[in-house]
Structure 1
Amino acid sequence: MKTLDPRDRSAAIAAAIFLLVFGAGFLFLPRAMLYLGTISPYLAAVVGTIFVLAFFVVFWLRARYQRHR
């Protein structure tokens, strides 16, 4: 069995953290939006939009970082 070198291990840990954070976020996002929708539907829309955009911003930032390396 092949062992991971430090870069691969770091990438695997980063991917696991990313999946856990955004997985939990998307799991609780509907409940949070329903709660925020009782305060203001616009607030719920803004929070949902920001969370979904943050998901893609992480990939965009990683692509920029990889391009400069």
Structure 2
Amino acid sequence: MTRETRQTAIATFLILAVFGTFLYFVPQIMIAVGAISPVLGAVVIGLVLVAPFLFFWLRSRRQNGNS
């Protein structure tokens, strides 16, 4: 494992750990937002599901120099 791949693996692990910790609180957030508006609750969960894909896509674009 080279230095670059090790750093990438560590960064990916930290990002997924933070996102996983956030997912632990998503049900409580959904209940609170859903009490205000069910549509807003659906929007919030949609953003939560799309966020990691968007984050990794933007990160790969930056690392490849395609920005």
Tell me the CA shift for residue 60 of structure 1.
1.9
Aligned equivalents of 1:43, 1:21: Cα separation in 2:
24
User: Which 5+ residue runs of structure 2 have no aligned equivalent?
Assistant: none
What 5-or-longer segments of structure 1 have no aligned partner? none
Cα deviation code 1:18-42 (max 9, x no counterpart): 1111101221111110111111111
RMSD of aligned alpha carbons: 2.0
The structure number with the bigger radius of gyration is 1
CA displacement at 1:7 relative to structure 2 = 1.3
TM-score, normalised via structure 1 length: 0.72
Superposition TM-score, scaled by structure 2 size: 0.73
Paired residue total? 66
